Amino acid sequence: MDGLKRMLATMLMGVLPVSVAGQEPPASTPNGGAAASEAGAWKPDERKRQALVESLRALQREPDNVLFHSAMCYDMTMPPASVQYTCETCGAVTDLPYQGPGELSVELPYLKRSLRDLPVKVTVDASSLCSKCGGGKPCGIVLTTSCGECGKTFSWSVSTSEEKDRLKLLFIAHPVRFFDAGPKGMGMDGTDAKRVIENADYIASRLFCEDCRKKLGLTGK
């Protein structure tokens, strides 16, 4: 019962009107460079962005309000050894090991679509998955975030299976009521304050620069 009450409280917090103060439009970045080509197609959703900030604050403030839920696992029991990846830019076909780079290449279209729905601009560069375009760079994808508050860009990379799975945290609906605890029988159900804060920290650090995380109170504890 107590858990239900807390859950309701969390839900209500997300519904409360967000303060109107400080709703200046995000700073534009005239030095857009490579990112500018996609800028026209992308428009930030200010209401969603505020909800995201509020939600991340709530997660760090009251991590016990969120439950972990294990789910059915649909992973392939016999994954292929490798995946043939066709480069969008040059058309070359590269054999990628399934674990990590191969999985990333398969999920790339889904990832690009999901990124477009975020209230913070994040673009993906998959050129290093291609043996020609990658030019010997470590095999993976590079994501570039325009900070959700100040617009400053920073890049980070994803190459392993675990890192790929963690990306899903970025697309969770806010306010958060449940986190995925992994496949049934593997993860632990219930509350886990430390993991909630870790998850909130992961999301915040991929969508906001360090200075803005401090300013917004999203640095965790």
Per CB under 5 A, does 209 bind Zn ion? yes
**Distance of closest approach, residue 85 Cβ to Zn ion, in angstroms:** 9
Per CB under 5 A, does 89 bind Zn ion? yes
Binding-site member from 13, 35, 39, 133 for Zn ion (CB under 5 A): 133
**Structural contact between residues 191 and 208, judged by C-beta atoms closer than 8 angstroms:** no
Looking at the DSSP bridge assignments, the partners of residue 46 are none
203 vs 219: CA distance, rounded Å: 11
Q: Specify the pairing of strand 93-97 against strand 82-86.
A: antiparallel
Q: Which of residues 152-181 bind Zn ion (CB under 5 A)?
A: 152
Closest to Zn ion by CB, 118 vs 130, is 130
Which residue intervals of the chain are DSSP H helices? 2-15, 36-39, 46-61, 103-116, 161-166, 193-207, 210-216
**Distance of closest approach, residue 130 Cβ to Zn ion, in angstroms:** 3
- The span of 2-10, 18-26, 61-69, 82-90 binding Zn ion (CB under 5 A) equals 82-90
Residue tagged 């696992």 (tokens): 73
Closest to Zn ion by CB, 17 vs 136, is 136
Per CB under 5 A, does 147 bind Zn ion? yes
Cα angle 149, 115, 164; round to 5: 110
Binding-site member from 51, 67, 87, 120 for Zn ion (CB under 5 A): 87
Per CB under 5 A, does 216 bind Zn ion? no
103 vs 80: CA distance, rounded Å: 10
The per-type count for the chain, helices as H runs and strands as E runs, is: 7, 7
Closest to Zn ion by CB, 66 vs 207, is 207
Interface residues with Zn ion (CB under 5 A) are 87, 89-90, 92, 130, 132-133, 147, 149-150, 152, 209, 212
